[in-house]
Amino acid sequence: MGQELFEIYNKRHQYLGTAPRDEVHANGYWHHTFHCWIVRDTPSGRNVLFQKRQTMKDTFPDHYDITAAGHLAAGETVRDAVRELHEELGLLVPYESLVPIMTVRSETEGTANSVPFIDREFSSVFGLLAAQPIADYVLQIDEVAGLYEADLEKILHLFMGKVSSISADGISADGALIASQRITRDQFVPHGIPYYTDVFKALRNL
């Protein structure tokens, strides 16, 4: 099977054509991505869910990240990208249930498994309020190493620099429960502090 093709753009969002995934990240072509943050309400407050990326990911392996996210393949719209929730988490929801939060552009670079990458994204960011307990999610084992949840206000304080770490509970890719994992800000994909604080503030109002 060939690599997935992405539509690529210049920094002014002018369409350039298509390219395979590894070429997009090797050459730093701008492309479209989908982000969805899930929150759920508990008796003690609102929790935000976030995933841990698998070890073999081609960008930021082993980092904590958005609940579900992915690239738009060539020909897809952001409406089509809701499939990421089903693929990564086993959650079937209609696009209409998502709440638009913002659109952002970001540039990050690094090395993953000894391969350098430049990741330039135009991202559509959404929120979703879902009641499903974390233990009921079914993770895509080749993409997601674990799924965690933490108090929304505490994780906001983490990114505002008010605390140095937070506690999170979760499940591993095989469904095993993980209790009281200590997590720091630098363990997350570096989307930028304003990205995280803006998203978490918006998730208060879903």
Please compute Rg for the chain using Cα positions: 16
Q: Which pLDDT does position 136 carry in this prediction?
A: 95
Q: Which pLDDT does position 3 carry in this prediction?
A: 77
Q: Which pLDDT does position 58 carry in this prediction?
A: 87
Q: Which pLDDT does position 52 carry in this prediction?
A: 97
pLDDT digits (tens, 9 = 90+) for 158-199: 999 999 999 999 999 999 999 889 999 999 999 999 999 999
Q: Which pLDDT does position 69 carry in this prediction?
A: 97
Phi-psi region of 169 (alpha: psi -120 to 50; beta: other; left: phi over 0): beta
Residues of the chain with pLDDT under 70: 1-2
* Helix or strand (DSSP H, E) at 35: strand 30-42
Q: In CATH terms, is domain 5-203 a member of 1.20.140.10?
A: no
Q: Which pLDDT does position 2 carry in this prediction?
A: 63
Q: How far is CA 145 from the centre of its chain?
A: 13
